[in-house]
């Protein structure tokens, strides 16, 4: 069996190919000496949900460029909103980043650690005449913002004196006012064509408990204020974020200048978000899926979360490979095909997974001329030659013993009573190879009263032991099988996409929940060869011809539970061609 891989901390996997625009910019900055060749990035998740594959793109980019240019990447929790955040999310995020193969060497940071400094920056702004306390309601502020074509209106409180502003801001902090009574706003330009620059709110009153600062604060900074200043406090050089923050860049730069951050200042650069077919990547929607029980939890293998993909069996190397293949683009990209992700997963798993046999939908075959009490044990390689053989550095046995007997299970779909010409599996009168064992020929079937096949009768040719015919007789089909006497029943979870390819698949007038695929999880009891009994959670195998599987955390000793990670694409076509 193959154990869950440990993160590989070495690789610069994106070295090949043309440089993306972010790496080009970093190299320009290094060449001009802007930051003295320093490259310092950060990955800034808000701990209000679990990380998903979109975050992986940002992680691979931020940690990746830091690694490539000898720099540093901070893991910074952007925890400025006390209402939605939780330590459970903090722990899961750390775990997922580590699992993806990145480390932050003590640079685990929290925006909330800067609340004191941020407060001082706000006072500096007030003293510089660049911020004021507004006592309008949220509705009034919203209503006077103007539109894309019309300027907004100045607040009647805009010209408060410095002393009055400092006093009010201090009393906001001291808890003298209820939520919503006042806000601190930047004093910029209510006529700016960029709506973000129309006296944006910097602080609001929120009498709420924070998961790290407790009840110390009752005013909390807004994202735009906290983010650029956190970048500056940490000495970030390249602040990489997704395109929806493009309009925030002007404010980012304005705030750093307004509080007097010396140059060179951190610079924000935007890149396109990752979107993948069949995947919903909005945190709000993912939270809803979990809270309303549409999935079993954040780590349900149908979720696009890193914990879900991990549990499904996706290796971290495959996710990094996928992110590198998708690349980084400046403009909003197209939606990436899920099949590219599966391709990366298969490519990785094909190299590392041992192969064993199990039958997902068993039907019994009885070999009439095989002695009743006889059991033969065949030695079978975990890594057959046609799969590339045993991988380098593989520890543990290279083969195992598999029992064969008179009664076996094969896959129900591997038999057809009225088989078309091109059906190379078992059918009355036809001969097939049982993998590594014998050639068998079907002599007939037994049916129950409902007309279903309960037993397939066969004869075997003892001269074909090992699965080869001494007289050079060819068979077109090779079937996997499991001896009935030694078969281990295993719970096996088979997955399909949780959603259709795109929102367009949602029925007219429905919400995204109406797009949920009711068949996204199918649980079957497979029959597996006895060697499978020893797997531990996290172990991976290929069930020959059926796909890649990972032993789930729900496994118990001797009672494995498997998640199908991916099917084997085109395995049939290939096998038919080989013969
Ligand atoms: P929210 O709506 O809660 O802000 P978010 O997806 O932006 O959701 P964050 O925790 O703020 O979540 O994201 C952390 C970082 O990951 C941000 O820099 C964000 O730009 C980036 N990120 C989030 N989603 C994607 C995505 N689909 N593709 C690339 N980067 C992403
Ligand atoms: Mg965000």
Share of the chain above pLDDT 90, in %: 88
46 assigned to active site: yes
- Ligand number nearest CA of 78 is 1
The answer to whether 346 and 548 have CB atoms below 8 angstroms apart is yes
CATH, domain range 113-224: 3.90.800.10
**Does residue 265 have a pLDDT over 50?**
yes
- What's the mean pLDDT in 261-282? 97
- What's the mean pLDDT in 22-41? 97
More confident residue, 507 or 266: 266
Dihedral of CA 419/423/429/435: which sign?
negative
Residue 85 has a pLDDT of 84
Catalytic residue among 23, 34, 37, 46: 46
Grade residue 504 by pLDDT with cuts at 50, 70 and 90.
confident
Stated pTM of the model: 0.93
Residue 7 has a pLDDT of 38
CATH, domain range 21-107+272-338: 3.40.50.620
Residue nearest to atom 29 of ligand 1 (CA): 273
93 Cα: distance to centroid of ligand 2 (angstroms): 14
- What's the mean pLDDT in 258-264? 97
**Does residue 17 have a pLDDT over 80?**
no
- What's the mean pLDDT in 419-444? 96
pLDDT in tens, 438-474: 999 999 999 999 999 999 999 999 999 999 999 999 9
pLDDT in tens, 231-252: 999 999 999 999 999 999 999 9
- What's the mean pLDDT in 289-310? 98
The CA distance from 505 to 507, in Å, is 6
Any idea which of 3-7, 53-57, 175-179 has the lowest mean pLDDT?
3-7
**Sheet of 358-359, strands arranged across:** 354-356, 540-543, 547-551, 561-566, 488-495, 521-528, 358-359
Does the beta carbon of 274 sit less than 6 angstroms from any atom of ligand 1?
yes
Does the beta carbon of 45 sit less than 6 angstroms from any atom of ligand 1?
yes
DSSP designation for 336: B
Residue nearest to atom 4 of ligand 1 (CA): 46
CATH, domain range 357-483: 2.40.240.10
The CA distance from 78 to 82, in Å, is 11
The pairs formed by 242-246 with CB atoms below 8 angstroms and a separation of 24 or more are 242/58, 242/270, 242/271, 242/272, 242/273, 243/270, 243/271, 243/272, 243/273, 243/332, 244/273, 245/270, 246/270
Grade residue 332 by pLDDT with cuts at 50, 70 and 90.
confident
The verdict on whether residue 486 carries a ligand-binding annotation is no
Residue 220 has a pLDDT of 98
**Does residue 348 have a pLDDT over 80?**
yes
**By C-alpha distance, which of 53, 68, 58, 69 is closest to 13?**
68
Beta bridge pairs of residue 276? 336
Contacts of 472 (CB under 8 A, 6+ apart): none
**By C-alpha distance, which of 433, 541, 545 is closest to 490?**
541
Residue 579 has a pLDDT of 41
- What's the mean pLDDT in 495-512? 87
Domain 490-577 sits in CATH 3.40.47.10: no
The CA distance from 225 to 251, in Å, is 9
Domain boundaries, the chain: 21-107+272-338, 113-224, 357-483, 490-577
The CA distance from 37 to 499, in Å, is 45
The verdict on whether residue 516 carries a ligand-binding annotation is no
Residue 327 has a pLDDT of 94
DSSP designation for 33: T
DSSP designation for 9: -
**Does residue 578 have a pLDDT over 80?**
no
Residue 508 has a pLDDT of 82
* CA dist list (Å): 266 to 40, 247, 380: 9, 16, 59
Whether 113-224 shares its CATH topology with 357-483 is answered no
283 assigned to active site: yes
Any idea which of 5-19, 34-48, 423-437 has the lowest mean pLDDT?
5-19
Query: Mean pLDDT, the chain, as a whole number?
Result: 94
**Does residue 528 have a pLDDT over 50?**
yes
SS3 for 255-320, per residue? Answer: HHHHCCCCCCCCEEEEECCCCECCCCCCHHHHHHHHHCCCCCCCCCCCCCEHHHHHHHCCCHHHHH
The CA distance from 433 to 413, in Å, is 16
Residue 3 has a pLDDT of 44
Tokens standing for residue 59: 């992680």
Residue 510 has a pLDDT of 87
- What's the mean pLDDT in 158-171? 98
Residue 16 has a pLDDT of 56
The CA distance from 90 to 25, in Å, is 31
Cis amide prior to 264 (ω within 30 degrees): yes
pLDDT in tens, 193-225: 999 999 999 999 999 999 999 999 999 999 999
**Does residue 118 have a pLDDT over 50?**
yes
The verdict on whether residue 274 carries a ligand-binding annotation is yes
Residue 351 has a pLDDT of 86
DSSP designation for 370: S
Dihedral of CA 251/257/260/266: which sign?
positive
């Amino acid at each position: 069996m193959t154990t869950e891989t440990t993160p590989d901390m070495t690789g610069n996997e994106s070295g090949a190919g043309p440089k993306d625009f972010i790496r080009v910019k970093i190299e320009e900055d290094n060449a001009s000496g802007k930051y003295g060749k320093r490259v310092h990035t950060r990955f800034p998740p808000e701990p209000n949900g679990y990380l998903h594959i979109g975050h992986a793109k940002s992680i691979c980019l931020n940690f990746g460029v830091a690694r490539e240019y000898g720099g540093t990447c901070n893991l910074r929790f952007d925890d400025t909103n006390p209402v939605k955040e939780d330590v459970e999310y903090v722990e899961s995020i750390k775990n997922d980043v580590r699992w993806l193969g990145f480390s932050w060497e003590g640079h685990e940071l929290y925006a909330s650690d800067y609340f004191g400094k941020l407060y001082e920056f706000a006072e500096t702004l007030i003293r510089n005449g660049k911020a004021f306390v507004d006592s309008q309601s949220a509705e009034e502020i919203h209503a006077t913002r103007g539109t894309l074509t019309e300027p907004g209106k100045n607040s009647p409180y805009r010209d408060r004196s410095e002393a009055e502003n400092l006093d009010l801001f201090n009393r906001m902090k001291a808890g003298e006012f209820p939520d919503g009574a006042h806000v601190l706003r930047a004093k910029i330009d209510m006529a700016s064509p960029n709506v973000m620059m129309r006296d944006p709110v910097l602080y609001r009153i929120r009498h709420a408990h924070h998961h790290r600062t407790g009840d110390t604060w009752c005013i909390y900074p807004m994202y735009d204020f906290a983010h650029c200043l956190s970048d500056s406090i940490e000495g970030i050089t390249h602040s990489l974020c997704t395109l929806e923050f493009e309009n925030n860049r002007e404010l980012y730069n304005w705030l750093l200048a307004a509080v007097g951050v010396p140059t060179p200042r951190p610079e924000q650069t935007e890149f396109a978000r990752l979107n993948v077919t069949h995947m919903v990547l909005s945190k709000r929607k993912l939270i809803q899926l979990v809270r309303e029980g549409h999935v079993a939890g954040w780590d349900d293998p149908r979720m696009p979360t890193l914990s879900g993909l991990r549990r499904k069996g996706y290796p971290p190397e495959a996710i990094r490979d996928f992110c590198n293949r998708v690349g980084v683009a400046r403009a909003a990209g197209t939606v990436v095909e899920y099949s590219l992700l599966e391709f990366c997963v298969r490519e990785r798993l094909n190299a590392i997974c041992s192969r064993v046999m199990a039958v997902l939908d068993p039907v019994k075959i009885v070999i009439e001329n095989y002695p009743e009490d006889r059991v033969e044990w065949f030695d079978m390689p975990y890594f057959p030659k046609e799969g590339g053989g045993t991988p380098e550095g593989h520890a543990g046995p290279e083969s195992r013993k598999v029992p064969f007997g008179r009664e076996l299970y094969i896959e129900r779909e591997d038999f057809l009573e009225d088989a078309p010409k091109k059906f190379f599996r078992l059918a009355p009168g036809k001969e097939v190879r049982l993998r590594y064992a014998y050639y068998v020929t079907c002599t007939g079937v037994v049916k129950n009263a409902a007309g279903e096949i309960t037993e397939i009768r066969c004869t075997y040719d003892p001269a074909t032991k090992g699965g080869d015919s001494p007289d050079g007789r060819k068979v077109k089909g090779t079937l996997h099988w499991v001896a009935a006497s030694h078969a281990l029943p295993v719970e096996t979870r088979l997955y399909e996409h949780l959603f259709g390819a795109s929102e367009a698949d949602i029925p007219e007038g429905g919400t995204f929940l109406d797009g949920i695929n009711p068949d996204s999880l199918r649980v079957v009891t497979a029959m597996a060869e006895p060697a499978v009994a020893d797997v531990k959670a996290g172990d991976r195998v290929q069930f020959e011809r059926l796909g890649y599987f990972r032993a789930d955390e729900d496994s118990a000793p001797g009672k494995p539970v498997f998640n199908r990670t991916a099917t084997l694409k085109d395995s049939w076509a290939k096998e038919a061609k080989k013969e």
